[in-house]
Amino acid sequence: MQESVIDIRGLDNAERIKVQLRTEAPKRWQVDDIVALFELPFADLMHRAQSIHRENFDPNGVQVSTLLSIKTGGCSEDCGYCPQAARYHTDVEKQDLMQLEEVLAAARAAKENGASRFCMGAAWRSPKQRDLEPVLKMIQEVKAMGLETCATLGMLKDGQAEQLKEAGLDYYNHNLDTAPEYYGDVITTRTYQDRLDTLERVREQDINVCCGGIIGMGESRVQRAGLLAQLANMERPPESVPINLLTQVEGTPMYGMDELDPFEFVRTIAAARITMPQSFVRLSAGRQSMHEGIQALCFLAGANSIFYGEKLLTTDNPEAETDRKLFDKLGIHPL
């Protein structure tokens, strides 16, 4: 059990019990437990998250990844946030799978800019074998450069995770996106269980899991807590947990939604750190809209991974030089 970081001096016994129940870490996280974390005074929540972060990680070290869209647009899914869905009219242009040399050039540039992991994303519902074969070669070649490899290719069929493992894949990204009870408001073309099945196939091959969600899609605080409970209660929580802030793209169903209060996003980062103390918590999409001060609070709350570079799939991401300047201000070093 984690000790409470809240000063309970001066509270009567009933109040002390209430604080203890709301702040001690259970063996299995209930949604109500995580909602209680969100409801803590901001300073208490940050203190607890930072304390847990320091117990498990270098508090000034951040893992740096670069994400490249190797096949863009034309996806048959109906994810309400995604400009790559073929059914939505956005500015994203469909592009076929990139050639091997183009991908390797991008990987070399990423490594030169300080990235330690290179992630390749393709807008497929589920890759066919003819789709997968050139990606396997990309993974092999990027791995040979000394970079960690990550891929996000959609749902995997039987046998595909084995091929990715043989090619040298280190991480597979497949987000749950949101809580089970809100999922149907976001996506209808694949089920929550479809996503869990892909994650199980990845785990069976002992590939590291990169799995998180998107915040600010109109979900409630309880539903944000529900997403974290799903992640934290996995038999092995994801090694990497990307927390994305919805990037609203004109032409998608979620364009025009009320923007999430930035402090709620920081609270989500802190709750992710507390519930998944040994996972890397990554600031992902939406970071370009965050003031430096909010990003600094996210690092203080336990975020210790970012995507680095000019593009994050199809939405803008702060340039590497901007990130380096922020790291210098905060005394952060890449891992």
| 298 known ligand binder | no
In the residue annotation, 119 being an active-site residue is answered as yes
Determine the 3-state secondary structure of 197 from DSSP: helix
In the residue annotation, 211 being an active-site residue is answered as no
Per DSSP (E only), the strands in the chain are 61-71, 117-122, 148-152, 171-173, 208-210, 213-215, 240-245, 280-283, 305-307, 311-312, 315-316, 333-334
Determine the 3-state secondary structure of 100 from DSSP: helix
| 79 known ligand binder | yes
| 119 known ligand binder | yes
In the residue annotation, 201 being an active-site residue is answered as no
The DSSP code for 77 is -
Judged on CB neighbours under 10 Å (0-12, 13-18, 19+), 43 is exposed
Catalytic entry in 48, 150, 201, 287: 150
Catalytic entry in 117, 282, 287, 298: 282
Are 162 and 205 in contact, with CB atoms under 8 Å apart?
Answer: yes
Catalytic entry in 117, 201, 210, 273: 210
Q: Which of 102, 106, 160 is nearest to 133 (CA)?
A: 160
In the residue annotation, 82 being an active-site residue is answered as yes
In the residue annotation, 210 being an active-site residue is answered as yes
Q: Going by C-beta distance under 8 Å and a sequence separation of 6 or more, which residues neighbour residue 324?
A: 114
Q: Which of 235, 237, 236, 260 is nearest to 247 (CA)?
A: 260
At 319, the amino acid letter reads E
Residue with tokens 């016994």: 13
Longest CA pairwise span in the chain (Å): 67
Binding site: residue ranges? 75, 79, 82, 119, 150, 210, 282
Q: Which residues are annotated as a binding site for [2Fe-2S] cluster?
A: 119, 150, 210, 282
Q: Which residues participate in catalysis according to the annotation? A: 75, 79, 82, 119, 150, 210, 282
